[in-house]
Amino acid sequence: MSEPRPVVIRSRDNALLKDLRRLAQDNGAYRKQGRVWIEGDHLGRAALARGWRPAMAVFSESFWPAAPAALAQAASKNIVIEDGLMATISGLESPAPMAFVLDLPAGHALQPDLPTVVLDRLQDAGNVGSVLRSAGAFGFTQVLAIKGTAQLWSPKVLRAGMGAHFGLRLVEGLDGDALAALQVPLVVTSSHEGEWLHRARLPWPCAWVMGHEGQGVEAALAQRAAMAVRIAQPGGEESLNVGAAAAICLHASATSRMA
């Protein structure tokens, strides 16, 4: 199989170039365009490994002749962009020489019985991506984002997720009341109350709720919880970053199943 003949862009006024720049730099553009920008070899290969087929592949002009076949033959449409213009698309300080454009997946419905992570208004893209990585690593297949959470398919969250998106069922824009449909127990974290995580008997499957960086879990969600836990911090810090806390809690769930 040979790669499709590329479309070459060398004009900064090209309409597609402008659309790609918005997609790469505007966190909400994926909703308007119905497409997702994933930049770099790592994310591209992660998508392919999970069976995703890009709608479009984008390469810098200097990289295109040496592009690996796995990337050059992945999409039905290849775009080759002059190097200087390619650099203007990326939101990165060191732009990658290739990217894929994926069709935004159709919205999923909440599944009531899956191992789940709930993101309650997490606003930092790095934190959200980190939690998605931990969810995928520790066997949680569904992530539910409450309104006010950073947009899950935005470029920054995608970069922080390092490919975790492509193996997860993602549902965003939910109201807290939507969690009433879950048939697995909610587990929340607290800095000051609840059982010690390392002593707790954790349910499986369950839905871990990770709260806002400054405000924690919203009170109405906390009241729904079947269990509250806290993480032992012998060093004495007041609290943990939510990404670190999520990794510890989800790992505890995963290892409790193996005991």
pTM for the model: 0.93
Q: Rounded CA gap, 152 and 165, in Å?
A: 8
Quote the pLDDT of residue 139.
97
Neighbours of 182 (CB within 10 A): 21
pLDDT band, very low/low/confident/very high, at 233 (cuts 50, 70, 90): confident
> What confidence score (pLDDT) does residue 215 get?
86
The answer, yes or no, to whether residue 210 has pLDDT greater than 70, is: yes
> How confident is the model at residue 259, as a pLDDT?
64
Beta carbons of 189 and 229 less than 8 angstroms apart = yes
Arithmetic mean of pLDDT, 40-65: 97
C-alpha 73/C-alpha 237 separation (Å) is 50
Whether 162 and 131 have beta carbons less than 8 Å apart is answered as no
- Between 165 and 216, the more confident residue is 165
Mean pLDDT of the 91-96 span: 87
Share of the chain above pLDDT 90, in %: 83
What is the reported pLDDT for 1? 52
pLDDT confidence of 213, banded at 50, 70, 90?
confident
Report the pLDDT value the prediction gives residue 124, as an integer from 0 to 100. 96
Q: Is the dihedral angle over the CA atoms 127, 109, 209, 176 positive or is it negative?
A: positive
User: How is residue 194 written in tokens?
Assistant: 């609840």
> In whole angstroms, what is the distance from residue 130 CA to residue 119 CA?
12
Task: Specify the pLDDT at position 108.
Answer: 83
Percent of the chain with pLDDT over 70: 97
Question: Average pLDDT in the 205-220 region?
Answer: 91
Locate 191 and state its tokens.
Answer: 């800095």
Average pLDDT of the residues in 66-78: 95
Which band of pLDDT confidence, cut at 50, 70 and 90, is reported for residue 239? confident
Q: Which of the residue ranges 106-110, 147-151, 238-242 would you say has the lowest mean pLDDT?
A: 238-242
Q: What is the pLDDT of residue 193?
A: 79
**pLDDT category of residue 3 using cuts at 50, 70 and 90:** low
DSSP 5-63: PPEEE--TT-HHHHHHHHHHH-TTHHHHHTEEEEESHHHHHHHHHTT---SEEEEETTT
Read off the pLDDT of each residue in 164-185 and give the average, rounded to a whole number: 96
Say whether 244 sits in a helix, a strand or coil. Answer: helix
Sign of the torsion formed by the C-alpha atoms of 231, 236, 238 and 239: negative
